[in-house]
């Protein structure tokens, strides 16, 4: 089984991206700087952050590295205060052996506690007056947006009613702040920035903060984290590397700042991110290398052999523009494994990966997404283990072939396959005909939109026409329910399913934008989930809720349009449905 965590080893030639990020951070005249690593859900952003840290450490041990997982604090703490506290605590620990710097770092940490307490005080005061909480604390950080120098902060305009507000709630915050410590929010921000700047200048070491998992956060938490980062912009010796889905940030800006148009979203990103870097989408060669490394790590071939494989594959990817990809035979010749059994297993695994790569990289349901590929392999391993425990003795190649079908063909096509297996006492007539003579085979309706995939898939070993598939079908449907692979979709896609099911009109701008923000490889899975819900409807005399959502998605993707049109064509004829079907077919 493979963990969903980031990797220290580069399986997808992401080191080139990490090297570029490290080069920027290692250029002193470019600091301070904020770098955005943008990519879809599961694209490998976390791995790039990890590889960047590794790359920086190769050349120097001077950097102070801080990793902030935004998702970890969601629901438990205010993200703005959490990131300040995380940085302050790291600096305290970093200089604890230097008494002078330690005193300064402790002072900075106390300053963070004051800011946190001021935020708490504001909440208590607001609640006392029956108004929503979070206003003043949010304004503290919003104030930093336009701050360039500490001189400007000192002369800055006080937040409206700030001092008076703090006086009014003094009795409710007794014990948190002493009278002489109460300052205006701009003064606290000014003091924090001054102390931080002085401390970093004295330490004389660059600070690199890695912000991860913003994709998994709510819009509120995402914006709060980004607001806190603004406090550090233009401060010395600091680099922020922020991993995020760019469209997610745009969506969060729209949600948080009501009425923000596309220009506002762009301005927000431009102010926050000085250097945007896009995670490259893996092609067939990258998926091949990724599969090779995942399968190799599952076998006991030794760390040194893994490094040789990784290095050889990375070099091959970098030279792909002028050379053919390194062959399985050449890879095997570069490593030395004492066990003949392990050697044989590795070679067989790499050959399997070679055969399935075109399907995984070419499928619109996978689109080369590393996380989906990894989860697909995990499903194969899970089913193999259950098969062995139940003494089904199913071959892993057979399980692999069926799991690929489920993910790439979709639920309706898989249901049709297993229906044929049930009715044929373990054998599919369509598969028999396809393997014997594909030109004479009659393709079921649910397979017609994926014919090209079907013709490639049937060529994968093993051939199935002479294999009783009842045990494999049972394993899929009962032990690990059908759809477990298809549900390996992004959080934003899951939210889209809920939204589209509730849509009542195709003019919904929120639904249209949500579709644009969702990875395209999730579109078909989203459409499947919506149609599953629609299938439960028995009365089609009127247009049901959810259909307009499906039509919006169909308008954005040809495969979804084809899928929906086939489903609607199977329904009883209705007058209101005819123009919709005509629209989909045209």
Which tens digit of pLDDT belongs to each residue from 376-419?
A: 888 888 888 888 888 888 888 899 999 889 888 887 888 889 88
Of the chain, the end-to-end C-alpha distance in Å amounts to 45
Residue 214's beta-bridge partner residues?
none
Task: Please state the φ and ψ torsions of residue 175, each to the nearest 5 degrees.
Answer: 100, -20
* Nearest one of 232, 154, 226 to 200, comparing CA atoms: 232
Q: Do 262 and 317 lie in a common domain?
A: no
| 381 belongs to a structural domain | no
* Nearest one of 408, 413, 449 to 431, comparing CA atoms: 413
Query: Residues with Cβ < 8 Å from 318, sequence gap 6 or more?
Result: 13, 16
pLDDT score for 144: 47
| 397 belongs to a structural domain | no
pLDDT score for 183: 55
Q: Do 271 and 305 lie in a common domain?
A: no
Q: Do 457 and 509 lie in a common domain?
A: no
Q: Do 171 and 263 lie in a common domain?
A: yes
End of a domain among 231, 248, 278?
Answer: 278
The answer to whether the bond into 184 is cis (omega within 30° of 0) is: no
pLDDT score for 519: 78
* Nearest one of 565, 570, 559, 567 to 531, comparing CA atoms: 567
Residue 248's beta-bridge partner residues?
none
**Side-chain half-sphere exposure of 500, counting CA atoms within 13 A:** 31
Q: Do 370 and 263 lie in a common domain?
A: no
Q: Do 148 and 263 lie in a common domain?
A: yes
CA distance 386 to 295: 19
Q: Are 346 and 301 in contact (CB under 8 A)?
A: yes
pTM score over 0.75: no
Query: Residues with Cβ < 8 Å from 121, sequence gap 6 or more?
Result: 166, 169, 172, 173, 176, 177
Q: Do 335 and 370 lie in a common domain?
A: no
CA distance 325 to 327: 6
Q: Are 137 and 227 in contact (CB under 8 A)?
A: no
| 569 belongs to a structural domain | yes
| 222 belongs to a structural domain | yes
| 383 belongs to a structural domain | no
CA distance 403 to 373: 11
Q: Please write the tens of the pLDDT for every residue from 135-149.
A: 444 444 444 444 444
Residue entry with tokens 């106390």: 110
CA distance 530 to 526: 6
End of a domain among 246, 278, 310?
Answer: 278
Secondary structure, 3-state, 474-520: HHHHHHCCCCCCCCCCCHHHHHHHHHHHHCCCCCCHHHHHHHHHCCH
Domain region containing 219: 16-278
Q: Is 252 helix (H, G, I), strand (E, B) or coil?
A: helix
Q: Do 256 and 309 lie in a common domain?
A: no
Q: Is 469 helix (H, G, I), strand (E, B) or coil?
A: coil
Percentage of the chain beyond pLDDT 90 is: 11
Q: Is 356 helix (H, G, I), strand (E, B) or coil?
A: helix
- Exposed, middle or buried: residue 425 (CB in 10 Å: 0-12, 13-18, 19+)? exposed
Q: Do 292 and 245 lie in a common domain?
A: no
Distances (CA, A) of 117 to 103, 129, 183, 253, 457: 21, 19, 12, 27, 61
| 432 belongs to a structural domain | yes
**Side-chain half-sphere exposure of 357, counting CA atoms within 13 A:** 21
pLDDT score for 246: 79
End of a domain among 438, 455, 488?
Answer: 488
| 1 belongs to a structural domain | no
Under-70 pLDDT residues of the chain = 1-10, 73-79, 117-186, 259-260, 438, 478-490
Q: Is 174 helix (H, G, I), strand (E, B) or coil?
A: strand
Q: Do 253 and 140 lie in a common domain?
A: yes
CA distance 518 to 221: 19
Structure token pair of residue 420:
């044929």
Q: Do 528 and 457 lie in a common domain?
A: no
Q: Do 423 and 439 lie in a common domain?
A: yes
Q: How far is CA 227 from the centre of its chain?
A: 21
| 498 belongs to a structural domain | yes
CA distance 239 to 52: 12
* Nearest one of 490, 525, 496 to 508, comparing CA atoms: 496
pLDDT score for 330: 93
- What is the number of structural domains in the chain? 4
Q: Are 518 and 500 in contact (CB under 8 A)?
A: no
């Amino acid at each position: 089984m493979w963990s969903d965590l980031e990797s220290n080893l580069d399986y997808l030639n992401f080191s080139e991206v990490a090297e570029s990020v490290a080069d920027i951070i290692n250029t002193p005249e470019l600091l301070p700087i904020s770098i955005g690593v943008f990519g879809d859900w599961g694209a490998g952003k976390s791995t790039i952050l990890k590889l960047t840290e590794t790359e920086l450490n190769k050349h120097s041990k001077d950097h102070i590295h801080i990793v902030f997982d935004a998702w970890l604090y969601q629901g438990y703490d205010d993200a703005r205060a959490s990131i300040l506290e995380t940085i302050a605590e790291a600096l305290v620990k970093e200089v604890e052996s230097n008494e002078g710097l330690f005193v300064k770092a402790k002072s900075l940490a106390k300053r963070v506690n004051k800011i946190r307490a001021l935020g708490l005080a504001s909440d208590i005061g607001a609640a006392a007056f029956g108004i929503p909480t979070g206003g003043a604390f949010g304004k503290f950080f919003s104030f930093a947006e336009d701050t360039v120098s500490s001189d400007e902060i000192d002369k800055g305009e006080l937040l409206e009613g700030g001092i008076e507000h703090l006086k009014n709630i003094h009795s409710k915050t007794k014990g948190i702040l002493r009278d002489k410590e109460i300052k205006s929010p701009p003064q606290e921000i000014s003091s924090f920035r001054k102390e931080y700047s002085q401390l970093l200048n004295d330490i004389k070491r660059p600070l690199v903060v890695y912000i991860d998992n913003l994709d998994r956060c709510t819009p509120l938490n995402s914006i709060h984290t980004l607001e806190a980062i603004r406090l550090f912009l233009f401060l010395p010796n600091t680099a922020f590397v922020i991993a995020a889905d760019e469209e997610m940030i745009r969506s969060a800006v729209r949600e948080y700042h009501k009425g923000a148009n596309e220009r506002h979203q762009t301005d927000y990103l431009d102010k926050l991110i000085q250097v945007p870097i896009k995670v490259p989408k893996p092609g067939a060669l990258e998926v091949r290398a990724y599969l090779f490394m995942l399968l190799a790590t599952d076998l006991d071939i030794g760390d040194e052999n893994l490094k040789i494989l990784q290095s050889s594959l990375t070099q091959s990817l970098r030279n792909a523009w002028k050379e053919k990809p390194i062959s399985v035979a050449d890879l095997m010749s570069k490593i030395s494994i004492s066990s003949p059994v392990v050697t044989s297993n590795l070679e067989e695994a790499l050959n399997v990966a070679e055969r399935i790569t075109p399907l995984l990289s070419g499928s619109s349901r996978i689109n080369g997404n590393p996380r989906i590929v990894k989860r697909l392999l995990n499903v194969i391993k899970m089913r193999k283990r259950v098969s062995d425990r139940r003494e089904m003795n199913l071959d892993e190649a057979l399980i692999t072939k069926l799991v690929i079908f489920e993910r790439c063909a979709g639920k309706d096509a898989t249901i049709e396959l297993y229906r044929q297996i049930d009715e044929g006492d373990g054998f599919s007539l369509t598969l028999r005909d396809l393997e014997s003579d594909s030109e004479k085979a009659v393709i079921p309706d649910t397979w017609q939109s994926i014919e090209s995939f079907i013709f490639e898939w049937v060529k994968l070993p093993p051939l199935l026409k002479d294999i009783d598939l009842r045990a494999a079908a049972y394993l899929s449907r009962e032990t690990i329910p059908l759809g477990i692979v298809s549900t390996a979709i992004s959080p934003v896609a899951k939210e889209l399913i809920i939204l589209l099911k509730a849509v009542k009109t195709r003019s919904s701008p929120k639904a249209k934008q949500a579709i644009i923000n969702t990875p395209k490889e999730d579109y078909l899975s989203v459409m499947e989930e919506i149609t599953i819900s629609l299938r439960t409807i028995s009365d089609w005399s009127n247009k049901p809720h959810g259909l307009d959502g499906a039509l919006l998605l169909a308008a954005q993707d040809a495969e979804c349009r084809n899928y929906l049109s086939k489903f609607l064509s199977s329904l009883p004829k209705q007058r209101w449905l005819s123009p919709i079907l005509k629209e989909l077919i045209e």
